[in-house]
Chains A and B, each alone.
Chain A
Amino acid sequence: MEGLRVGFEIHQQLATRKLFCNCESELSEEEPELKIIRRLRPTQSELGEIDRAALQEYLKGKYYEYEVPEEVSCLVEMDEEPPHNVNIEAVKTALQVALLLNAQPVDEIHFMRKIVIDGSNTSGFQRTAIIAMDGYIETSQGKVRIPTICLEEEAARKIREEGSKTVYRLDRLGIPLIEISTSPDITSPEEAREVALKIGEILRATGKVKRGIGTIRQDINVSIAGGARVEIKGVQELNLIPKIIEKEAERQRKLIDIAQELKRRGVKEAQLELSPVDVSEIFASTQSKLVSRALSKGGIALAIKLPGFKGLIGGAKDEPRLGSELAQYARVKAGVGGIFHSDELPGYGISASEVEAVAEKLSLANNDAFVLVVEAREKALKAIEAVVERARYALKGVPEETRVAQSDASTRYMRPLPGAARMYPETDLAPFVVEDKLIAELRASLPELYEEKIARFVKQYNLSKELAAQVVRSPHAELFEELVAIAAKPRLVATTLIATLRELKREGYEVDRIREDSFRELFSAIAEGKLAKEAIPEVLKALSSSPESSVAEVMQKLGLEGFSEEEVRKLARRVIEERADFVRERGEGAAKPLMGVLMKELRGRVEGKVVMKILEEELRSYLKA
């Protein structure tokens, strides 16, 4: 793709306690009792000025309600107590990641206050620090540089908006977050996926990062030659990354084409006046339900001329269209449901004669287009304003903006690209000196990277490469090695942790509730011959519904216990004696059929191999006698 440049900003939550207090980094799903009302006031800039627009918003009464779940938030999150010393475990984890990314840790870490007044931080700023610089990772396409690695506070969780009130929950606020920013060195969608995958694996290799939805967020910056930097947020699915990038590149290409065509047609910015015309009368007896409904609710039909835009707004459904950009602007800035534009009209019940009448009223020339909004007056005016603003950008090409990814890999306009944030030192914290000794220690104990670990598992545990990779990428790699140490059956442990759990989950069992200790007990029981491997799924099913039970309790409940070797012997002798004729006839060849009989009683309780061994011994001694 011509001139494609992609960079990432990856945010990963750490699985340590919070960054500046001793609260646990857990979310709380219950609505807490304590809720507090706060406001955030725009503060003075460097020059002592205050952002007038932000102050207007404030004076209009915008406020925040913070829900305070006390099990995971304290006075620090409430902005009622200064930050405690930085969480050393989080710093170590971040430094470890930095070293794995070939970056140079800074000698001294200085936390900054980055002003954020959308309410997501109770203080009105986010604490953030550079902990290392000048890293890189190798991809199949070459090096991708990582200029900065930061350690920062996660923001509070937005619960909902109600008019001028926004509700946040403080559980997420203060969870340590590593921010990894790459340079825009990535030149293909596939390479982008590789980079995201690789960085993700490095993060998880530390064993100290959170897993699950929302714990890692990757913002993608995309631009093409002649385009502009567009930041795409909300990318959850790694496999969607190439598609998202392709679509964005295509969108930028299309916008550049439109700009060139507008230029060729000689359209000037000055022609794009904000002079909407009320065309409600034209629709007085319209057949369009959309329009008549909006009008009957007291709305007006407002139209604006877009000179020279004819044929450039619409397009095929699955292609990028300027029309959707105009609509998204109107939606975000004015809160309207949608707009109509002349490239798609007549349509939506709007008739050809109505279109003509609007065109006449706006005195459209041949190449001109129009946009129509039917809404309450204030909203309609705001929407038209947004449309004109966006149409003006169309003359230049691609506006710099922040977009949000949709599940179909398309993106939607969210807001303009934020300018440089105001930042100043967090004076409540002492600088953190990164001692050479600490770096040497961390370097000496760097976690094994995924590729190294997979190779080792193949070699050491004789696993297939596929199974080894699945174990390593799962959250259970550490547990796997522990269980192998207990039960010495690597393949059984691996298939249990990977395949069995996956199958049970698919069947609807909540296997995530099973405690790690239960796995330890389970494999001890197997190692001691108290439980047969065939019984593993049954035990896990039971544990998933009562995770607090011990494995011994579950075995008892399922009737899976109490067969000592002696009891098996007794049973084997009984089976042999009951079928004495058959045994004498077949001799040692009777073992296999008898095994079937025996296992009917013992299946899942005693390992087949053990039963066979005992049966053969008993058979031999019977025959001898």
Chain B
Amino acid sequence: MYRGEAAKVLGEAKVGDRIRVLKGERSYEGVLMPRSELGDDKHVVIKLDNGYNIGIEVTGARIERLAPAEAAKHAAFPEPEFLPDKPEITILGTGGTIASKIDYATGAVHPSFSTAEIINAVPELAQVARVRTKLLFNILSENMTPEHWKKIAREVAKELNGEAYGVVVAHGTDTMSFTAAALAFMLKNLTKPVVFVGSQRSSDRPSSDAALNLIAAAKVATSDLAEVVVVMHSTTQDTTCSIHRATKVRKMHSSRRDAFKSINALPLGEVGEEVRLFGNYKKRSEGEVYADTRLEERVALFKVYPGVNPELLEYCVDKCRGIVLEGTGLGHVPESLLPAIERAREEGVAMVMTTSTLYGRVDMKVYSTGRRLLNLGVIPGEDMLPEVAYVKLMHVLGVTQNYEEVCSLMMRNFAGEITERTLANAFY
């Protein structure tokens, strides 16, 4: 928004107003645009009648307000028509760019999440299912908290125990795998598919991956699967989407469409025209789903690296009931961290070891550092992703804080987070 010099010169003029900017012999007319967060406070931006925006430096400029902003118009969408023989699915909105509408004047992207809007934008969905949408909240995924996970879990359970044949959760991609993993642990007796979906290119762009991902997610939500999964582009092409198990998936690229990869496992399936499932997956069945939303939030994810300051870990020991270590290689830490780990053990803070290599299994028996850590009660996290171990530890500590029980629960496979046999083709 305008501040400083620019705000002063603008005076009464508001974003959306038609204004004239007079500066020396120059004169520009157009609609006042909002200011980019990346811009300074010395320019005003107007949209000229030819559609282009330009910025005008305000020193010595005078603004004439020509007309007030026109009220935004929105088309009314027809009520979508569905095929009666299709299953019903619910799409829950939580934010992100999967379903959003561009404000062409300002470039701002607003969520658009009514059923009519979604079907208007992606009419193919009506061929897949009878869709109902529900916007839970609209936040950037980096602002997602364990409280949000709980709310999503409860809503999903409610939908699945109601009419929904499957649920799609539209979610920002940055922390999607955390939320998906949290639901995988919290939803007990899951008998239907819960499908997380997002987009890496916002839906205002013709090249957006949102529609293809959403259609694929809807198909998976009507499939034979009874797990929490993430469905996103398989490759950089707009051809197929991959179905990733929520506890094995990670965003591995900051910008590509195919950013999501299954780690230490192969995807559960692929979606082209049809859903193809392969490997071992839990099949759809009957029964009430239950959301166990107990979470111990005092858990930290601690990355180990050369030169790490032991005081940082000491601080975590003070503040937390559980710490997931992202160790080096097979699961090691520098000796300098051992006193803090020893104290953690004494104070009953659960410690779980994972590896910064992401790929592969931790094994603390091979080298002496590892053996010392085992003796200090550090729980080996097998081949769990650090983030998944973090979410799991919150869940487990929410249930019990007894060391022996925590230990055995952490090493038990709840939702496919631990791979018992890792095949060669799971590393690529």
Contacts and interface: CB of A to CB of B under 8 A. Distances in A.
Q: Classify chain A: how many residues form its interface, as a range.
A: 35 or more
Contacts of B103: 424
A36 interface: yes
Interface in B105-157: 105-107, 112, 117, 120-121, 123-124
B421 interface: no
A43 B39 contact: no
A50 interface: yes
Given A41-B208, A41-B211, A75-B255, A430 B52 contact: no
Nearest to B46: A110
B37 to A, nearest CB: 9
A55 B120 CA distance: 11
A337 interface: no
A79 B102 contact: no
Nearest to B26: A104
A22 to B, nearest CB: 16
Contacts of A47: 73-75
Nearest to B75: A47
B55 A106 contact: yes
Given A110-B45, A148-B50, A79 B201 contact: yes
A44 interface: yes
Given A107-B56, A110-B55, A63 B238 contact: yes
Contact of A123 (B48, B75, B124, B205): B205
Interface stretch (A124-132, A351-359, A387-395): A124-132
A37, A110, A113, A123: most-surrounded residue (chain B CB, <10 A) = A110
B112 A48 contact: yes
Contact of B206 (A41, A109, A129): A41
Contacts of B207: 38, 40, 79, 122-124
A109 B39 CA distance: 11
Contacts of A129: 52
B309 interface: no
Contact of A75 (B75, B105, B256): B256
Interface in B168-204: 201, 203-204
B53 A425 contact: yes
A431 B52 contact: no
Interface in B244-303: 255-257
B271 to A, nearest CB: 15
B400 interface: no
A150 B236 CA distance: 31
Interface string A300-323: 000000000000000000000000
A108 B256 contact: no
B308 interface: no
A46 interface: yes
Contact of A433 (B53, B55, B77, B107): B55
B104 A43 contact: no
Prevailing SS type, chain B contact patch = loop
Nearest to A45: B104
Contacts of A106: 54-56
Interface stretch (A209-217, A415-423, A492-500): A415-423
Contacts of A122: 207
Given A75-B256, A427-B107, A108 B56 contact: yes
Q: Classify chain B: how many residues form its interface, as a range.
A: 35 or more
B38 A430 contact: yes
Given A36-B236, A41-B208, A129-B52, A431 B104 contact: no
A107 B107 CA distance: 20
A522 B243 CA distance: 65
A49 B75 CA distance: 7
B336 interface: no
B22 to A, nearest CB: 14
Interface in A388-414: none
B57 interface: yes
B36 interface: yes
* Closest CB pairs A-B (n = 10): A124-B206, A108-B55, A425-B107, A430-B38, A107-B57, A110-B53, A40-B206, A423-B51, A47-B75, A106-B54
Interface of A: 36-50, 55, 59, 63, 75, 78-82, 104, 106-110, 112-115, 117, 122-125, 128-130, 133, 148, 150, 420-427, 430-431, 433
Given A106-B54, A125-B206, 7 more contacts: A43-B206, A80-B255, A107-B55, A148-B50, A430-B36, A431-B36, A431-B55
Interface of B: 26, 33, 36, 38-40, 43, 45, 48, 50-57, 73-75, 77, 101-107, 112, 117, 120-121, 123-124, 201, 203-208, 211-212, 235-239, 255-257
9 contacts: A36-B235, A37-B237, A39-B212, A79-B201, A79-B207, A80-B255, A108-B56, A112-B52, A426-B107
